[in-house]
Structure 1
C-alpha cells in the first residue's frame, strides 16, 4: 500500500486521509477541546477519491492516521468502448482500462490527453487536458 502516516490533529481541508481502507479527500475538520478526563477529539468529514462516498470519522487528536500517496499522472485515451476507456500513460506507456467518470463524459474522445490519479492500487481519470 502506498501510504504514509501523520497525526489526526494536523489534518486540514483539502488534504488526504484513509478512512475504512479507502483514500479520501478531507472536506472539513472540527476539533473539540479536551475534557476533564478525556483527550481532544478531531471529527473528519471526507469524500472518497474513487467512489465519491462521504465518510466521517472521529479520532483522538494525537492519533496516528494513514495518509494515501496520490500520484497525479498524464495519459492519452487510446479507445472508448461503452462506459470504459483505455488510457496509455505518457511516461511508462502502460495501457489500462478505467470507467468513464460522469463529470467529464461529454469531453471524452480518442486521442485526448487526460490527467489521472493513482492511489492504493486504484486509478481514476480526473479531467481532460487542454479544454
Structure 2
C-alpha cells in the first residue's frame, strides 16, 4: 500500500485522501475555528475512487492523514470478459484484469468503448488499478 502523509489543513478540494482505508477524492472541505481554547477543525466530504460512495471526515486541522500515491500508466486492452477487462501494461508488459468502469453515465460510456486493441490510461491507486480514459485506438 503506497501512501504519503500530509496534514489535513494543507489539503484542498480536488486532492486525494485515504478515509476508512479507501482512496477518496475531496469534493468539499470546510474549516471551522472552535472556541477560545479549542483547535480548528476541518470537515471533509470525499467520494471513494472505486465504489463512488460519499465519505466524510471531521478532525483537527493539524491531524496527519494518509494521501494515496497515484501512478498514471498506459495499457492496452487485450480481451473483454464481460464485466472485466484484461489489460497489458505498455511499460512492463504485465497482464492483469480490471473491473469495467461503471456507476455513472460517463463511466458507462467509457466502458462501452473498451475493445481489444484500445490504449487506455489507468491509475494504480494503493495497488489497485482503475481505468480512467481511452487514449487512442489502434487501426
What is the RMSD of the two structures over their aligned residues, measured on CA atoms? 1.1
TM-score, normalised via structure 2 length = 0.90
Residue 123 of structure 1 aligns with which residue? 129
User: Aligned partners of 1:106 and 1:129: how far apart in 2?
Assistant: 14
CA distance in 2, matches of 1:9, 1:80: 43
TM-score by length of 1: 0.96
Q: How does 1:92-131 map to 2 (within 5 A)?
A: 92-102=92-102, 103=107, 104-130=110-136
Q: Tell whether 2:10 aligns with 1:10.
A: yes
Distance 2:86 2:72 in 1: 17
Task: Specify the SS of the correspondent of 1:129.
Answer: strand
CA distance in 1 between counterparts of 2:39 and 2:130 reads 38
Question: Which whole-Å CA distance do the structure 1 matches of 2:19 and 2:88 have between them?
Answer: 30
How many pairs align? Answer: 131
* 1:30 and 2:30 correspond: yes
Report runs of 4+ in structure 1 exceeding 6 Å deviation. none
Any stretches of 5+ residues in structure 1 without a counterpart?
none
